[in-house]
Chains A and B, each alone.
Chain A
Amino acid sequence: MSRSIVVTRPHHEIVTKYLCDWSKEVVDMARTKGLEVFDLDGTKSTRRNFEGYVKKHSPNFAFVNGHGNALEVAGHENEIIIDKECNLKIQIIYARSCEAALILGPSLVSRSVDTFIGYTRKFIFGYDPSKCYKPLDDVLAKLFLEPSNLVASTIIKGHPAREANKRSKDAMYKNFRKMISSRATYEERFAARWLWSNINSQVVLGDPNCVF
């Protein structure tokens, strides 16, 4: 398999816009490491493009952002790009999407995927609506999305999936502790409960020692 990654980054509304913008740093990091990166951002984030890239280039790692549920993950305009019937051969998938680890993840690792990292609940993040046109300036959203990026960046650096999960959770927990401290703003203290949910719902399925 070639050392390449595919990233889906739809941004057709506010939630996906946040995921798209915050994923960019992972894309940039992968490129600086000399990896081949197939960045399916915005309208490129379609099933046809995703399947086409995977079939042609067999990427080792797929970082999938977008809406989803227990059975599927979506791309641009909520077109389903990965579902239970998917037989694409990908070594590691990280789905920053709701509940994909409930049914979709186990289904994929039983067939064509070695490792799946995702969430057993709806992925949730707090944000400041005054920053919705500049998500990277949103300090509240950063508390959620920056540590979640660590799953992808740690994998790209060549660490096992379990290490990626651990680093991400450690970073989420560090933010969580800050958010429940007396130094936190009222908004941060209130949002801490949602980060607690993400910490507890992020799971690794399949081979935890899988390395990119």
Chain B
Amino acid sequence: MNSDSQLKEIDLDPELKEQLKALVLERINVMPDTMRIAIGTTEVAKSDIIRHVTDEDEIGKQMIEMELEFLQALGSGAVYTNE
């Protein structure tokens, strides 16, 4: 599966985009409150990630892309093969 082309498709479809965003926000919502991640020039907590995804800024877009790729990899079984 080519995630780049799929992301472009999602960008063109506003309804699909909103559904994906809602899915990502639900998934981020179960992130442990004690965790932090270092991404780009900042360290972010769960609430920051939610804000970035909601705003669809640079970090938010990467978060959405990472979730999509991860879900695709889980679904396809790619996570179980090291290629």
- Verify if B51 is at the interface (C-beta below 8 Å from A): no
CB-CB < 8 A to B30: which residues of A?
Answer: 190
Q: Does B40 contact A (CB under 8 A)?
A: yes
Set of chain B residues within 8 Å of A98, measured between Cβ atoms: 39-41
**How many residues of B are counted as interface, with CB atoms below 8 angstroms from the partner's CB atoms?**
24
State whether the Cβ of B22 lies closer than 8 Å to any Cβ in chain A.
no
Contact A176 B37 (CB under 8 A): no
Cross-chain contact A180 with B79 (CB below 8 angstroms): yes
B62: min CB distance to chain A, Å: 6
A126 to B46, CA, bound (A): 12
Asked whether A49 is an interface residue with its Cβ less than 8 Å from the other chain, the reply is: no
Q: Are B35 and A176 touching (Cβ within 8 A)?
A: no
B37–A194 contact, CB under 8 A?
yes
Report Cα–Cα, A124/B34, bound state, in Å: 17
Check: A129 CB closer than 8 A to any chain B CB: yes
Within 25-76 of B, Cβ neighbours of A (below 8 Å) are at 30-32, 34-43, 59, 62, 65-67, 69-70, 73
B66 touches A126 (CB 8 A): no
- Complex Cα distance, B74 from A168, in Å, reads 22
B82 contacts the other chain (Cβ, under 8 Å)?
yes
Proximity bits, A45-69, B CB within 8 Å = 1, else 0: 0000000000000000000000100
Chain A residue contacts of B82, Cβ below 8 A: 169-170, 173
| Known pairs A15-B43, A170-B82; A186 contacts B32 (CB<8 A) | yes
Evaluate contact between A187 and B38: CB separation under 8 angstroms.
no
The reply to whether A193 and B67 form a contact with Cβ atoms under 8 Å apart is: yes
A139 on the interface (CB 8 Å rule)?
A: no
Q: Is the CB of A127 within 8 A of B38?
A: yes
Determine if B79 and A122 form an interchain contact, defined as CB atoms under 8 angstroms apart.
Answer: no
CA A195 to CA B82, docked complex, whole Å: 13
Cβ-defined contact, A193 with B32, below 8 A: no
Interface residue ranges, A against B (CB under 8 Å): 14-15, 18, 67, 78, 98, 121-130, 140, 169-170, 173, 176-177, 180, 186-187, 190-194, 196-197, 200
